[in-house]
Amino acid sequence: FDANVQRSTLNFTISNTIVAFYTIFLLDDFLYYFAHRIMHMPLFYPWCHKHHHRQSMPRRGYFDAANESPLEQVLGLLCVWVSMYVVKQTIGEVHVATGFAFLLVYACMAFLNHTEYDVKFGLLGLGYSVRAHEMHHRFPTCNYAQNTMCWDKMLGTFLEYKGKKVHEG
C-alpha cells in the first residue's frame, strides 16, 4: 500500500488529477523521445526496433502498435513507470484514477498512431496528430516522440506531414 496514491473520490484535487496527468504525459513523451532515438541507433536498431518498422505505412491499429520486440516493450513501459514515479515524488500524490486515465489515453493514442485515420487534437499547447507518427514510419529520422511533437520541434527532428490523407476522422 502506497500512501501517496489516492484512491478515494473524496481526494480528487487539481494537483493529483489534471496537473499529474499533464505532467506524466509530457514526461513520458520526453523520455520516450530519447529511448526511441536510441532504438534507431545502428547498434540497437536490428535488435529492438527494426521489426516494428517493417510496416512503412501502418494501418492495422493495435496489431501494428504492438508489433514490437520485448526489449522495445520494456523500454516503453519503463518510460511510463519512471514518469509516474517522478510525478508522484514531485507532486506528492497522484490519484489512482489519473494513472488509469493516462494508461487508457496512452493506449488509445498508440492504437490511433498506427491507423489510416487523420486524428488530431490539441490540449494546453500540445498538438497530437496521427500523421506525425505516420511520417516517422515513412521517414525514420524524424518525429521520434509518440504523442506530441513538442520535443521533436524543440530538438530539431520534427517533419511536417507530406502526402495524401486517406481518411479524416
pLDDT digits (tens, 9 = 90+) for 52-85: 666 656 555 554 555 566 777 788 889 999 999 9
- Where residue 1 falls among pLDDT bands split at 50, 70, 90? very low
User: 149-168 pLDDT, tens per residue?
Assistant: 999 999 999 998 887 555 54
Query: Is the model's pLDDT at 113 over the cut of 60?
Result: yes
Q: Residue 138: what pLDDT?
A: 82
pTM: 0.82
C-beta contacts of 33-40 below 8 A and 24+ residues apart: 33/144, 33/145, 33/146, 33/151, 33/152, 33/155, 35/75, 35/76, 35/78, 35/79, 36/144, 36/145, 36/146, 37/144, 37/157, 39/72, 39/75, 40/140, 40/141, 40/144
